[in-house]
Structure 1
Amino acid sequence: MSTDIYTIDVFKNLSLTFSEREIIRSCFTEKSIKKGEHLLLNGEDVNSILFVLDGCLRTYFIDDKGKEHTLQFAVYDWWISDMMAYFSETKALLNIECIMDATVFEIQKNSLEKLCIKIPVFNRLYRDKVEGSIVGYQKRIISILSQTATERYLGFIEKYPDIEMSIKNYHLASYLGITTESLSRIRKELSSPK
């Protein structure tokens, strides 16, 4: 089922001419992704960014010891890609996996650049999203460095209220920087009557 990009909150309030709307519509490709599918693997070229309409994706990398580290979950109204590779035009270091059936809009790098040049209001929207993601990453780094595991878990629940029970424990534990055993202990402590 095809979704009109202008029914999505982030786009529907943009003041655009009919021509600008058609240009934007032509630059995005809607994709349906099933749970377990990968949209990007380490070592691949990164030529696009994905806008999440529904479902949930995660970015992760695998260290030299084979351990997975989840960097990001992307849900409705989030953009996701391997931004390091995308901006530096290098091969992907990260993997992107669908962890809940999802619908995304994909835009190629050359199309995104074209939209940013031709349509100032779209450029502003994209810039706001990039700035927001930079802020988000810095907050995440600060939380990892300064918060307890319980505080990080509570922050996750606040940020992603609808996905906790739909994702695997080891994905959440790796995102929080803890073991699955520690995650179970934290949940047990929080659910125990005081």
Structure 2
Amino acid sequence: MANTNHNIFREIFNGITFSEKELDVISKVFIKKHYKKGSIIFKENEDIDEMFYIYDGCLRTFHMDDSGKEHTVQFGIKDWWITDYIAYFTDTKAYMTLEVLEDATVYSLTKANKAFFYSEIPQVQSFIIRKLEGAYAAFQKRIILSLSQSAKARYLIFLDTHSDLEKKLKNYHIASYLGITTESLSRIRKELYNP
């Protein structure tokens, strides 16, 4: 079992060479969890103490506005990290809900375990920072596109960037991610595929 976990952690932290002792530390701080499709891992206004590495499956974070409309903030698939980063990094209540869209296996890292992990294996901190920097850059790009591009252009960019996701997602998930209605999404698809 330890060898299997060790191989998984080598996969997660691809590019870093670990000693067996370091892999044992990683095995103690990362908790493997399984979630079924439709599960809610956390909801808005809850305390957040974990971020998740997605080993397999598909998840999404979304915010529900005062009128009950969902706004998808992030999708997550294999080899992505996901949580409500606002709550996780600022010790506030969750702004978002984390939903499982496809049966998932994740590895959870609590704040306390993260601090211990970084102190025991410092090279991992720079690895995770690089991942978070990439995510931050992607979020900023998405905001700029959302403010400056048409719905059709945003959909085409989504297809180009996330072609592997489209078949896994319901139309309303994609529409809420793009900031449009499902009717608008249907109209865009019709224009593209049935000119």
2:161 partner letter: K
For 1:180-191, what aligned pairs fall within 5 Å after superposition? 180-191=182-193
Change over 3 Å in CA distance of 1:177–1:40 after alignment to 2? same
Q: 2:120 aligns with which of 107, 118, 138?
A: 118
For 1:99-178, what aligned pairs fall within 5 Å after superposition? 99-178=101-180
1:25 partner letter: S
Give the aligned partner of residue 72 of structure 2.
70
What's the offset of the Cα at 1:12? 4.1
2:45 partner letter: G
Corresponding residue SS for 1:4? helix
CA distance in 2, matches of 1:159, 1:4: 30
CA distance in 1, matches of 2:175, 2:91: 31
CA distance in 1, matches of 2:141, 2:165: 20
Q: In 1, are the aligned partners of 2:33 and 2:107 still within 8 Å (CA)?
A: yes
Q: Deviations over 1:9-59 (max 9, x none)?
A: 332431111111110111111111111100010111100100011111000
Give the aligned partner of residue 6 of structure 1.
7
Give the aligned partner of residue 55 of structure 1.
57
Q: In 2, are the aligned partners of 1:6 and 1:12 still within 8 Å (CA)?
A: no
Corresponding residue SS for 1:139? helix
Corresponding residue SS for 2:139? helix
* 1:82 lines up with 2:100 in the alignment: no
Corresponding residue SS for 2:152? helix
CA distance in 1, matches of 2:142, 2:163: 17
Q: Deviations over 1:57-81 (max 9, x none)?
A: 0000111111111001011111111
What's the offset of the Cα at 1:127? 0.8
2:7 partner letter: Y
TM-score (norm 2): 0.93
Runs of 5+ in structure 1 lacking a partner? none
Identity across matched positions, percent: 45
2:43 partner letter: L
Over aligned residues, Cα RMSD in angstroms?
1.7
What's the offset of the Cα at 1:5? 5.3
Q: How many equivalent residue pairs?
A: 193
1:11 partner letter: F
Q: In 2, are the aligned partners of 1:5 and 1:11 still within 8 Å (CA)?
A: no
What's the offset of the Cα at 1:157? 1.4
Runs of 5+ in structure 2 lacking a partner? none
Give the aligned partner of residue 38 of structure 1.
40
